[in-house]
Structure 1
Amino acid sequence: MNKRNPVTPFGWKIKEKLVERQMDQRTFCDTYHIPASRLSNLIHGTRKAKKYRVQVCQLLGIEE
Structure 2
Amino acid sequence: MAVRKQRITPLGWKIKRRLAELEMTHKEFCEQHKIPLSRLSEIISGTRQNRKYRDKILRELEIEEEGQPHAEQVQHVG
Q: Give the TM interval when normalised to the shorter protein.
A: over 0.9
Q: Residue deviations 1:24-57, cap 9 Å, x none? A: 0000000000000000001000000110000001
Structure 1's consecutive aligned runs of 4 or more residues displaced over 4 angstroms after TM superposition are: none
Unaligned runs of 5+ residues in structure 2 are 66-78
Letter in 1 for 2:46: G
Unaligned runs of 5+ residues in structure 1 are none
TM-score of the aligned structures, taking structure 1 as reference length: 0.93
More helix by share: 1
SS at match of 1:5: coil
For these two proteins, the number of residue pairs brought into alignment is 64
TM-score of the aligned structures, taking structure 2 as reference length: 0.77
State which structure, 1 or 2, has the greater radius of gyration over its C-alpha atoms.
2
Point out which structure has higher relative CO (alpha carbons under 8 A, 6+ apart).
1
Deviation at 1:2, TM superposition (A): 4.8
Please give the alpha-carbon distance, in whole angstroms, between the structure 1 residues aligned to 2:21 and 2:5.
25
Determine what percentage of the aligned residue pairs are the same residue: 45
| Pairs within 5 Å for 1:1-64 | 1-64=2-65
| Two-structure CA RMSD over aligned residues (Å) | 1.0
